[in-house]
Amino acid sequence: MTAAPARTRTRTLAVAVVALSASLVAAGCTSNTPEAAAPAGNGSTQAPAGNAGSSNDAPGEKVTIGFSGPAADHGWLGAINSAAQEEAKKFSDVDLKVAEGTNDASAQIAQIETFINDKVDAIVLLPTDGAALTDVATKAMNAGIPVINVDREFSSPFAARTTILGDNYGMGVSAGTYACEQVKEKNLSNPVIAEIAGIDALPLTQDRSKGFADALKACGQNVDNRVAAEFTVESGERQASNLIQAAPKIDIMWNHDDDQGIGVMAALDQANRHEMVFIGGAGSANAMRWIQEGKMAATVIYPPTQAADGINLARLIAQNKGVSDLVQVEVPKRVVLNAPVVTKENVEKYLPLGFES
């Protein structure tokens, strides 16, 4: 099949990303909580905690990190904010200043201005609008304050020291690849494949849909029925109802977002339509419990730990350290996290990282 090389490249990329993610997990597991037992190994008399076993574990210079993110009006965003704060608590050498979550770009700009005036050592910023926050982030960088850009990219490379992202296209590829595996495993000769997207105007939705379509193409399949919801429970239920009315039989369905998936599941329950392989997206705890119960086949992770990883990287950058297990002595400029598929076989591994919708 002509698309086979693309699948090979995807696997190669996935391996690379997994390797980098593993490094980040190692960094993320490091902390300098008092229960540490192993020696620091760099002449320090302070013992490191965590699993990485590098000198990065030991408490270093005290640093102040400013964190600003959107309002927690969505399960995933709530998890982003809480995970960042929990991660900071693991480090005795981190003083985290948390700005109130907001979806108002002007208010978030004012928060970053305050961080600049306070001369914090680093800023972790998940912008409500990447383009709108670019100028103030650049201002912080020009003031010598490294900015870690989380999830929604700025429009200038000069606005961030490091950018950490989920992989929206990769989510689609992972969902599509799993769908192809199901087509083969169930020996489906002419499967009906459906998709419930998020907000179509957003680039992240477009990337997810493109990845899904590209992966399906690799096994000779395509999306037969598609609707777009709005990342809300209500819109998920409404659009899923429309979809199942239009398609009397569905073999495989991918829903982009587990928060709107609450509504999708409600629509399926109400119509008693559980004939399809139901695949979710984002990785909520709700979806993972459905997987355990057999109501959902799989979900694809969009890590809610991005800001927590940002806290780790901000600490290392402010302390002029690199990432453990990388030969390079500096924190990478760009990090893209993996989008693994969670199934009944591996759900126990990912459930602790799931967020409540």
In the predicted model, what is the mean pLDDT of the chain?
87
The larger pLDDT score, comparing residue 56 to residue 301, is at: 301
Question: Is residue 138's pLDDT more than 90?
Answer: yes
The larger pLDDT score, comparing residue 205 to residue 75, is at: 205
Q: Supply the pLDDT for residue 144.
A: 98
Give the separation between CA 275 and CA 332, rounded to whole angstroms.
45
Prediction pTM value: 0.78
Question: Is residue 262's pLDDT more than 90?
Answer: yes
Question: Is residue 214's pLDDT more than 90?
Answer: yes
51 Cβ contact list (under 8 Å, min separation 6): 26, 29, 30
Give the separation between CA 101 and CA 127, rounded to whole angstroms.
10
Per domain, the residue ranges of the chain are 63-166+304-321, 168-300
Number of CB atoms found within 10 A of residue 310's CB: 31
Q: Supply the pLDDT for residue 55.
A: 77
CATH number at 168-300: 3.40.50.2300
Question: Is residue 91's pLDDT more than 90?
Answer: yes
Confidence of residue 54 (pLDDT cuts 50, 70, 90): low
- Burial of residue 140 (CB within 10 Å: 0-12, 13-18, 19+) is buried
CATH architecture of 63-166+304-321: 3-Layer(aba) Sandwich (3.40)
Contact 126, 80 (CB under 8 A): yes
311-328 pLDDT, tens digit each: 999 999 999 999 888 888
163-206 pLDDT, tens digit each: 999 999 999 999 999 999 999 999 999 999 999 999 999 889 99
* Residue whose entry in the numeric block shows the structure tokens 């000069």: 158
Look up residue 200 and give its two tokens: 């179509």
Average pLDDT, stretch 21-38? 38
